[in-house]
Amino acid sequence: MNPVLESLGTLLKVFIGTLLALMITNGANVLEMDSWSDWKPYLAAGISALIVWGYNYLNPADSRYGYSTKK
């Protein structure tokens, strides 16, 4: 598979998983937009997704994409 699609897939999966975990622990109602007024935890979820992607990108044992991808 295309390395770019692999990395975008990882970003999307980790972000959605982290966002769902955050929503469950905070008791946020998805349909009620008043509970989304504090955007900082959701930004933190996005940053955590980027950190996981960065780790996978630099990990020489992970050959899906990034540093160790054969070109």
What is the tens place of the pLDDT at every residue in 1-60?
Answer: 677 787 788 888 888 888 888 877 777 666 665 655 677 877 887 788 788 888 878 888
In-domain check, residue 64: no
In-domain check, residue 33: yes
Q: Is the pTM of this model over 0.75?
A: no
What count of other Cβ atoms lies within 10 Å of the Cβ of residue 49?
Answer: 20
In-domain check, residue 70: no
In-domain check, residue 46: yes
In-domain check, residue 69: no
Per-residue pLDDT, 32: 63
In-domain check, residue 63: no
In-domain check, residue 65: no
In-domain check, residue 12: yes
CA distances 47 to 3, 11, 42, 51, 71, Å, are 21, 10, 9, 6, 28
Quote the number of domains for the chain: 1
Phi-psi region of 38 (alpha: psi -120 to 50; beta: other; left: phi over 0): beta
